[in-house]
């Protein structure tokens, strides 16, 4: 009996092991496909968008190719050139689509002609890197088209260029999945309805369109760098995604100084990601950070990118200027060694180029550091009545800081409490509440003296 039961057990175990092995193969293949998708999807969608003229169709065809890969690769193995395989499969689907939807109109007929022309005598492999680059650039410009709202541009960019799923985007922005899905659907529809063309804009239009692209990348970065809502203060994955997009763009458009300016700004800010969160999860503000934890590699990359922007000549744009400010901090070995007068001068230049109340506030803080808290406070006080800063928590936070330095603890405490009530980020709220408590304690100490 014992022998039989053990042999049954061993047979069962073997069967289970077999099933497990098959599962492992399948899950290994799925993980490989997922990784390949991340690598290839943007180029794939870009190439298809050039043919189809619209992102919606391109994405559908690319998804079809992905489904085919998920069906076939686990048994057939990953092809040697997975990108070319996906593209060829997507183009076959396009031909099918045309056959099936011939009546649906011109769009697919056009696509059919393009696909035939593309396949007529030419091999997939003849597509040069340059053409790939142009396709990718065209896709970036399309996804970041100013006709779309900021939210729509951000979602669409992460989806088609970052290769993120709707669920991943929703998780990153703490928004319901359905809202992101809707945003993406609407964005694609808007692009079609407003007849946005797949192109790399030139000349004057390029400047405005590029500004829109840079804005989207920076928005993604900032949402990761100082999460506007939720429990976490930073979400490094979003920063990494934005950095990756920036680095890709810098290679695609190497003669645009502002692209390098933005990359420099993001690299230098990202160098502090580790240092700006305490082990408790609380934010650590710039001047209190342990500079030994700054990532020297990213600082060096940032300074190199800033150098590239400067070498391209011309007046520095807003991103390069902000990068130059970030570089002042990066170069200072200690907070006390910061070149504040230079930072004030750089903020003057930013304010002239791209005036905004937030820039004014930052400038006021720099003035406070360079020329004393009273001078800073005077400038901040002039901003208090601005409607656009009414709900901006960093205004009372900055004012509280300056008041505290001037020994006006009661007023400082009220400002920190106000900042705490305005921020939507839980971690930042805790920090502001702690500052308020410190001011209360300092006031008592002051009274006792």
Q: What's the rounded Cα separation, in Å, for the pair 200 and 51?
A: 14
Is 382 an interacting residue with respect to another protein (CB under 8 A)?
no
Which CB atom, from 5 or from 279, has the smaller least distance to another protein? 279
Residues 102-141 vs another protein: string with x where CB under 8 A? ---------------------------x---x--------
DSSP alpha helix (H) spans, 149-272: 150-160, 166-173, 177-193, 203-225, 236-252, 257-270
**CA-CA-CA-CA torsion for 318, 234, 147, 205, nearest 10 degrees?**
30
The number of C-alpha atoms within 13 Å of 299 and in the hemisphere containing its C-beta is 18
Structure tokens at 53: 């003229």
Which CB atom, from 215 or from 240, has the smaller least distance to another protein? 240
Interface of this chain with another protein, residues 252 to 271, rule: CB under 8 A: 252
Q: What's the rounded Cα separation, in Å, for the pair 51 and 35?
A: 25
Interface of this chain with another protein, residues 297 to 326, rule: CB under 8 A: 297, 301
Residues 15-34 vs another protein: string with x where CB under 8 A? ----------------xx-x
From the number of C-beta atoms within 10 Å of its C-beta (0-12, 13-18, 19+), residue 108 rates as: buried
From the number of C-beta atoms within 10 Å of its C-beta (0-12, 13-18, 19+), residue 106 rates as: exposed
Report the candidate in 145, 442, 401, 23 with the shortest Cα–Cα distance to residue 154: 145
* Stretch of residues binding another protein (CB under 8 A), selected from 246-254, 345-353, 413-421, 426-434: 246-254
C-alpha pair distances (Å), 298 with each of 90, 217, 270, 274, 410 = 38, 18, 7, 12, 41
Q: How far is the CB of 48 from another protein (least distance, A)?
A: 19
Structure tokens at 52: 């189809």
Among 158, 210, 262, 277, binds another protein (CB under 8 A): 277
Report the candidate in 165, 198, 183 with the shortest Cα–Cα distance to residue 55: 198
Which CB atom, from 47 or from 246, has the smaller least distance to another protein? 246
Which CB atom, from 41 or from 362, has the smaller least distance to another protein? 41
Which CB atom, from 115 or from 143, has the smaller least distance to another protein? 143
Among 279, 334, 337, 385, binds another protein (CB under 8 A): 279
Is 251 an interacting residue with respect to another protein (CB under 8 A)?
yes
Structure tokens at 60: 């559908």
Is 291 an interacting residue with respect to another protein (CB under 8 A)?
no
Interface of this chain with another protein, residues 210 to 239, rule: CB under 8 A: 236-237
Is 35 an interacting residue with respect to another protein (CB under 8 A)?
yes
* Stretch of residues binding another protein (CB under 8 A), selected from 35-43, 49-57, 203-211, 398-406: 35-43
Is residue 234 within 8 A of residue 272, CB to CB? The reply is no
Structure tokens at 415: 């400002």
Q: Which positions lie near another protein, rule CB under 8 A?
A: 31-32, 34-36, 38-39, 82, 129, 133, 236-237, 240, 243-248, 251-252, 273-274, 277, 279, 297, 301
């Amino acid at each position: 009996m014992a022998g039989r039961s053990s042999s049954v057990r061993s047979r069962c175990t073997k069967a289970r092991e077999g099933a497990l092995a098959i599962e492992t193969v399948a899950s290994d293949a799925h993980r490989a496909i997922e990784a390949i998708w991340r690598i290839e999807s943007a180029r794939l969608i870009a190439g298809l968008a050039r043919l189809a003229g619209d992102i919606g169709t391109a994405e559908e065809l690319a998804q079809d190719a992905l489904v085919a890969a998920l069906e076939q690769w686990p048994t057939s193995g990953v092809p040697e050139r997975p990108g070319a395989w996906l593209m060829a499969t997507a183009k076959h689907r396009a031909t099918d689509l045309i056959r099936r939807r011939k009546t649906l109109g011109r769009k697919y007929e056009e696509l059919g002609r393009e696909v035939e022309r593309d396949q007529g005598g030419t091999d997939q492999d003849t597509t040069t890197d340059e053409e790939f680059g142009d396709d990718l650039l065209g896709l970036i410009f399309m996804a970041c088209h100013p006709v779309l709202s900021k939210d729509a541009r951000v979602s669409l960019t992460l989806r088609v260029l970052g290769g993120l799923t709707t669920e991943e985007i929703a998780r990153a922005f703490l928004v319901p999945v359905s809202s992101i899905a809707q945003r993406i659907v609407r964005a694609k529809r808007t692009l079609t309805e407003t007849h946005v063309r797949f192109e790399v804009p030139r000349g004057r239009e390029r400047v405005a369109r590029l500004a829109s692209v840079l804005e989207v990348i920076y928005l993604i970065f900032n949402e990761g760098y100082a999460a506007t809502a939720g429990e976490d203060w930073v979400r490094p994955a979003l920063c990494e995604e934005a950095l990756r997009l920036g680095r890709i763009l810098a290679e695609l458009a190497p003669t645009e100084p502002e692209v390098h300016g933005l990359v420099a700004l993001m690299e230098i800010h990202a160098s502090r990601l580790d240092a700006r969160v305490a082990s408790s999860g609380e934010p650590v503000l710039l001047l209190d950070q342990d500079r030994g934890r700054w990532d020297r590699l990213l600082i060096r990359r940032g300074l190199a990118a800033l150098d590239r922007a400067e070498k391209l000549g011309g007046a520095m744009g807003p991103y390069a200027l902000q990068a130059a400010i970030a570089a002042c901090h990066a170069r200072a070995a200690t907070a006390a060694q910061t070149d504040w007068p230079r930072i004030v001068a750089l903020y003057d230049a930013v304010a002239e180029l791209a005036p905004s109340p937030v820039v004014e506030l930052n400038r006021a803080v720099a003035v406070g550091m360079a020329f004393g808290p009273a001078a800073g406070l005077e400038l901040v006080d002039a901003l208090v009545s601005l409607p656009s800063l009414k709900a901006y928590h960093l205004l009372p936070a900055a004012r509280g800081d300056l008041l505290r330095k001037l020994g006006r603890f009661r007023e400082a405490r009220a400002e920190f409490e106000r900042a705490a009530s305005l921020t939507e980020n839980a971690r930042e709220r805790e920090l502001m509440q702690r500052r308020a408590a410190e001011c209360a304690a300092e006031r008592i100490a002051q009274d006792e003296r």
